[in-house]
Chain A
Amino acid sequence: MRYIPSSPAEQAALLREVGVASVDDLFATVPREVFRKDPPPLAPPMSEIELRRELGAMAAKNAAATCFASFLGAGLYAHHSPAFVSQLLLRGEFLTSYTPYQPEVSQGTLTAIWEFQSHVALLTGMDVANASVYEGASALVEAVLMAERLTKKRTRIVVSKTIHPEYLTTLRTYLANLGLEIVEVPAGEDGVTNPAALAAAVDDETIAVAVQSPNVFGLVEDWSVAAEAAHAKGALAIGVVNEMFSLALLKPPGAAGIDIACGEAASFGLPASFGGPLVGFLACRDGFKRQIPGRLAGRLETPEGPVFALTLSTREQHIRREKATSNICTNQGLFALAATMTLTALGKHGLRETALLCLSKSEYLKAGIGKLGNGKFAVAFPGATFNEFALRCGPPVDEVLSALEKAQILGGVPFARLAPGSGEHEDLLLVATTERIRREDLDRFLDVLKGF
């Protein structure tokens, strides 16, 4: 086999050195009744030529979707990634190295992790960020568990229902057996978390209050509402962000009293890749850093220059086992690196300019919908949005999407798809724009709606 260097003769030589007669002798302590003599029921090995054909055929079945103008978002926004990023990611020193537990031979990865942490800290306005977690929903879980440790002996989590439904489902799954209660505060008529309802839900048992901005309807929430509601009762405030470009134009959670920021950083050039791998982030105030889960890179100034290493490792499972801050081990290394590279290229100016492109295109589309005049479509909520909004559809959402598809447009995500079976907001379509959308795509979108 091409991935096993030893030739049959060399394998025989190795067996002789080891002192056994056959390969099977190496497995002598395996009970004979489970040791398989026959090969597994798989096809014969494939050459690269066959692999390209076989898997290429599968990819081709999705290819049509990649040619459409895409307005899909709802927690995952496919922004541009500079060409050098995917090429440098293929460097073996990044691709095929392990977690940098040995700093002397991992300064490359460690420096990049530290840079990722710094970008996240700057964008969110927090003091400390970790090396990444799996993705946005598990980032929220980790934030909640972290808050639970920090507040000690409290039992309830208050979450706004304007957080992405898959995040909330994930939170319920993780918290199911930990004796913690989740209190969901419904959105007001305007699609935004109602400050009075939120404050009323918080009491002395509340661990934390979590809100998302822009929220699942794309609406901008005011972080300070959650911060004030939480702090009034000694609870912590958690801010969820899953469209990080919004932070180029919106006051960051750290500047509005949020204690822990978490969410999804895939916007920084990660391929959509059918939803993974993504890159979750977690950031907090300095005083909470000993309770942040996952890997943390630190920077030490030495006479020879800065040196980077993982630090505060005693928080982690490989040392503290069942008392660890989390069971997390693997993080999203390579994709945190991809986000870091993209952020480096974008820089301070590119971040803002990209965000302005996204915002302007979304506003153009919203304005166009307001002027359709056929009474069948409306922007569902009046509040400010960044690059995504909820479109209220008179005709069934499926029919709207089919019509858009005929015009080479993936028109958005039906809200019903985020929470299957819930029966909520079945007339809403979430429509997201990025810098990749052109004016002609927007006009075509509006033309299709006009046709209803």
Chain B
Amino acid sequence: MAVTFRIPSYLATFAKGDSSVVLQDVPATVQDALSALWMQCPGLRDRIVDEQGEVRQHINIFVGNECIRFTGGLTTTVPDGSEILIVPAVSGG
């Protein structure tokens, strides 16, 4: 099994043009998953988290159907076979 990131279309440029990135080594937490993602696609990092490692305000990360804001943030556990979705928030002006 593996864990798969779903990448929004705007960021595909920084994921070698792909809309998904597969992690073969199953991470324990979202934090671990993101660290592995940065290794494969370094251009994604600054766009998803700030210098302090915080997920940017208007980006949501889901593990399956659950937004990590309500499940422990970056310490949220990642079950084997999960999909992690990076989703721009529905907000703006």
Chain A bound to chain B: no
Give B contacts to A, CB under 8 Å.
none
